Amino acid sequence: MLTVGCHLSASAGNMAMVETARKIGANTFAFFTRNPRGAKARAEDAADSALAVAALKEHGFGKLVAHGSYTMNLCTAEKEARDFACSLLCDDLRRMAALPDNYYNFHPGSHVGQGVDVGISQIVDALKTALKPGYPVTVLLETMAGKGSEIGGSFHQLKQIIDGVGSDAVGVCLDTCHVYDGGYDIVNDLDGVLAEFDNIVGLDRLKALHLNDSKNPFASHKDRHECIGQGSLGLDTFRNIVNHPVLSRLPLILETPNELPGYQKEIAMLREMNTK
């Protein structure tokens, strides 16, 4: 069975997200660890987390894919802001211990004029600071569309970060909208793109997928998500993904512009597409 779900609100706690996921036919989900446009985080609730961990195991959920705040830029040019972003990363990874053996995904950041090499060095430093030995969490670098000064728009940049950190606790989350907008043609050559990823990064580092269609054409470097089958990627691309021998085994997270009923329909549609 596919491990597929969507982004859910964490406002009512971890157990509430498990219950919502089950209602819409999901067996994984994503959630923001704190305000996605800010820094505030929910109060920690050990009892709620314990109930959620037990329910996830009972109902056979796959790995969850938590998401760091969009405002957490580990390679901003201002040192004070960069240090604050690193403190958020450290706190998020500490909090993830309450939901052990899951994933924490984040946007690598934007170097805002410092240059790619400087930005990558700063991201590496932050990850080395935050990844404490023994933390039961794997950090995922999200593939980006490469707009502006974004880092993570190429597989080579992701490889540089991974090599710099030098830890098995760092992997990659491939976003279908982002890689297509970034110039990797998963519509016409999915296996070729995966072969390139394997050659540069290694498929063993690919841990999860964000499933999003795109409002923009190939290599547009713009990053605007669309509902599955309604954008430039088209239904056949997602049919290929959910039947791919490598990709279909990974957690598949929808981040399409939907409310819960829309996500429920897309989850059911992806399951129907899966014939292998």
- Which residues are marked as active site? 37, 67, 70, 107, 142, 175, 178, 210, 223, 225, 255
What's at 41, amino acid-wise?
Answer: A
What's at 215, amino acid-wise?
Answer: K
- 72 and 84 in contact (C-beta within 8 Å)? no
Q: Angle at Cα 40 formed by Cα 164 and Cα 37, nearest 5°?
A: 70
Residue 142: which of 231, 50, 207, 90 has the closest Cα? Answer: 207
Question: Phi-psi category of 14—alpha, beta or left, where left has phi over 0 and alpha has psi -120 to 50?
Answer: alpha
- How distant, in Å, are the alpha carbons of 56, 106, 110, 212 from that of 254? 19, 15, 24, 6
The helix/strand count (H/E) of the chain reads as 9, 12
Tokens of 28: 């994984």
Beta pairing class for 213-214 and 225-226:
antiparallel
Residue 94: which of 122, 130, 64, 66 has the closest Cα? Answer: 130
Distance, CA of 182 to CA of 218 (rounded, Å): 8
